[in-house]
Amino acid sequence: MQFGLKAVLALAVAGLTLAFCAPIFADSLTIKTVQGKVHGKTINDGKVKAFLGLPYAAPPVGKLRWKAPESPARWKGVRDATQFGAHCAQGHMFDDMIFQDSGPSEDCLFLNVYAPADAKASSNLPVMFWIHGGGYVGGASSEPRHNGDFLPIKGVVLVTINYRLGVFGFLATSELAKEGDGAAGNYGLLDMVAALRWVNSNIKNFGGNPDNVTIFGESAGSFAVSTLMASPMAQGLFQKAIGESGAAFGDLLGGESLANREKADDAWMAKIGAKSLADLRAMPTDKVLEAAKEKGRLGFSPVVDGRLLTEPVPEVYAAGKQAHVPLLAGWNRDEGSFMAKDMTAAKWKSMAGQLFKDRAAEFLKLYPGDSDEQATDSAIAFGGDSFIAFGTWKWIEAQRKTGDAPVYRYHFELRALPSKYHPGEFAFHSDDIEYVFGTLDTRPGETVRPEDRKLSEEMMGYWTNFAKTGDPNGSGMPEWPKYGKGDELIHLNNPISSGPDTLRPRYEFLLQGMPAFHL
């Protein structure tokens, strides 16, 4: 009888333990947001909690197509947050973009939150807010290369977002300007601001610190970072910034005048037979995308709209009116790898003369072409400078001069092995993404070497250290010097090294005048 009583008591205690433990475990994956409760899942063998497909704005459809984002609806009960939300409507742009969601839609304003498994509301972890690239015309938060399996293990909360793209994100007609009290376009950028506001209101419950947010992005995402730093609407919503290969400091995606874009977009409307904004809003998604092809791949991009941007981005920095936050930025060695094909010394020298005329001799000293091999290397260098590097350099220089905050500059140099989408051994445009996220194994058809994993681990350390303190340096890591009067930068290679900038003469030459060059 005594044994039976003990057994009953033991079972009762066990039952109580389970009763208390089960809700605690469940609650760690059920988080309250302003809109309602969400229930996520664990990934990476339980090391990371993932909350996917969270709406940060109302669906921008029907009358809300080409409107600034509005607050999302509230819900009762618990919303499933174990699947990605739809990616934003887009045409096929880039072969290497793979999505893990249900497909494209205009109802796409979703974000994902990834946190360490033990994160709780009191954790107060730094937040890293990722803006994907794709020329403002492609991409999504569900791409495998920026999955959140690994970065949160370094002690951060990661947020990845969708935002409106192409014609849906950046159309700017005169009727839209009239409807918007003189402002039009930049809906994709306004989406980013809305997502940052959502983070400010909700991220604490996921374990993040709303007062320690780092915005970071690659390519168009980096252009967006430089733009958000210049936007009065975004300032105060983040405390640090990272830019990987891109800045709004040139003709490419740099932000043209609203007046010019109104004319161009009004002409486009007339050409496709749309007599009014109401006609455009009534057109099916696929018809709008098909009609947008009339303006080319980059026909719809940011403008100085008078709302998100009140003046061109470079002018904001020149006046010191941008966000005065620490900046970590740089680019890859072979951003211009697309220029490698069929280049010869004769062709290169001829091209130099056509582009730079009486400055050709000086140009060829900086980008020499005395052999076919040398000409190919110089073509890659100039292609990358024209495409991405020169604009990114100007951004870094501008922030150093007027930003009143530390700047850290990098050059990513480890050349990848040939793969399905990137033939040849290059540190190509976008090559750095999988290193930053620790997702090298998501690359199709590419061998991952020990030196790749080592550099990825080091870069994840630098990026997350910067998010924590505004300084990428940490114990046991090669020192990353501040970008100061000596132009010091770090070379992300195997091994990592640092030293003064040896390429500055190229950019000072290009400052004297950059000819029209069609990549």
Q: Residue 381 falls within a domain, yes or no?
A: yes
In the numeric block, the tokens 């988080």 are attached to: 31
246 and 222 share one domain = yes
Asked if 112 contacts 52 with a C-beta cutoff of 8 angstroms, the reply is yes
Structure confidence by residue, pLDDT tens digits, 68-85: 999 999 999 999 999 999
332 and 440 share one domain = yes
359 and 312 share one domain = no
Chain center to CA of 139? 10
Residues 360-373, mean pLDDT to the nearest whole number: 97
132 and 231 share one domain = yes
Q: Which residues of 293-329 are buried (b: 16+ CB within 10 A; e: fewer)?
A: eebeeebbbbbbbbbbbbebbbebbeeebbbebbbbb
How does residue 515 score in pLDDT terms, banded at 50, 70 and 90? confident
- What's the length of the chain? 519
278 and 212 share one domain = yes
Number of domains in the chain: 2
Q: Residue 13 falls within a domain, yes or no?
A: no
Last residue of a domain, one of 273, 290, 318: 318
pLDDT at residue number 516? 64
CA distance 454 to 447: 14
304 and 335 share one domain = no
Q: Residue 450 falls within a domain, yes or no?
A: yes
* Catalytic positions, written as ranges: 219, 335, 429
Using the predicted structure, report yes or no on whether residue 21 has a pLDDT greater than 70: no
Structure confidence by residue, pLDDT tens digits, 111-123: 999 999 999 999 9
Q: Residue 443 falls within a domain, yes or no?
A: yes
Residues 141-167, mean pLDDT to the nearest whole number: 98
Q: Residue 127 falls within a domain, yes or no?
A: yes
209 and 293 share one domain = yes
> Dihedrals φ, ψ of 293, to 5°?
-60, -20
Last residue of a domain, one of 297, 318, 339: 318
Amino acid in position 117: A
237 and 124 share one domain = yes
313 and 330 share one domain = no
Q: Residue 358 falls within a domain, yes or no?
A: yes
Domain of residue 426, residue span: 326-519
Amino acid in position 286: D
Structure confidence by residue, pLDDT tens digits, 495-504: 999 999 999 9
Structure confidence by residue, pLDDT tens digits, 216-250: 999 999 999 999 999 999 999 999 999 999 999 98
How does residue 251 score in pLDDT terms, banded at 50, 70 and 90? confident
Q: Residues with Cβ < 8 Å from 404, sequence gap 6 or more?
A: 320, 324
Q: Residue 299 falls within a domain, yes or no?
A: yes
pLDDT at residue number 32? 97
How does residue 517 score in pLDDT terms, banded at 50, 70 and 90? low
pTM for this predicted structure: 0.93
Using the predicted structure, report yes or no on whether residue 14 has a pLDDT greater than 60: no
260 and 354 share one domain = no
Q: Residue 57 falls within a domain, yes or no?
A: yes
331 and 310 share one domain = no
Asked if 249 contacts 314 with a C-beta cutoff of 8 angstroms, the reply is yes
Last residue of a domain, one of 261, 286, 318: 318
* CATH number, domain containing residue 283: 3.40.50.1820
Mean residue pLDDT of the chain comes to 92
96 and 158 share one domain = yes
Give the sheet arrangement for strand 30-32, strand by strand. 30-32, 37-39, 78-80
Q: List the one residue out of 101, 69, 202, 156 whose CA is nearest residue 461.
A: 156
